[in-house]
Amino acid sequence: MTEREFLQIHRNNMELTSLQAKYDKIVGGSLVLGKEISGMPYVGRVFDTSMSKTEERVDIEIQYKDLYYRNQLLINKARDYIAELPDMTLRMILTLKYINGMMTYDVAAAIGISEKMCQRILKVHFSNVF
């Protein structure tokens, strides 16, 4: 498993968060504003935008599910790769940093090593493996 694939997990998680925020805005917005009048007669200066909102919501749901599925496959591949590593410290660093999405200084603090040592372990691992 390459470092690029590990980094893709983080990028996917960020994109999933963004899609969730868009979805919440669309769903929450239709309930709060009260301007959408789907099925109601015409009212001046109020437009029925519920269909476009529904289509947008469905598109976001499809994107989210697809990305979530692909990210889960990548996470499973990463977990399998990490499980085969003999060094417990390296396994903990890779899991905390790439799967759990922690920052390097948080990973170092959780493990009880310095941030420089954590960075060095990652650099050595990825330069030796690839």
Given this model, what pLDDT does residue 93 score?
Answer: 96
pLDDT beyond 70 at 121:
yes
Q: Which residue has the higher pLDDT, 95 or 47?
A: 95
CA triple 78-82-84, angle to 5 deg: 125
pTM of the predicted model, to two decimals?
A: 0.75
DSSP designation for 99: I
**Please, how many CA atoms are within 13 Å of residue 114, restricted to the half-sphere of its CB?**
3
Name the band, by pLDDT with cuts 50, 70 and 90, for residue 95.
very high
Tell me what pLDDT residue 97 has. Answer: 95
For 35, 42, 43, 66, the CA distances from 123, given in Å and listed in that order, are 54, 64, 63, 32
23 touches 61 (CB < 8 A)? yes
Band (1; pLDDT cuts 50, 70, 90)? confident
**Would you say 89 and 111 are in contact if contact means Cβ atoms under 8 Å apart?**
yes
pLDDT, residue 32, reads 42
Residue 63 clears pLDDT 90, i.e. is over it: yes
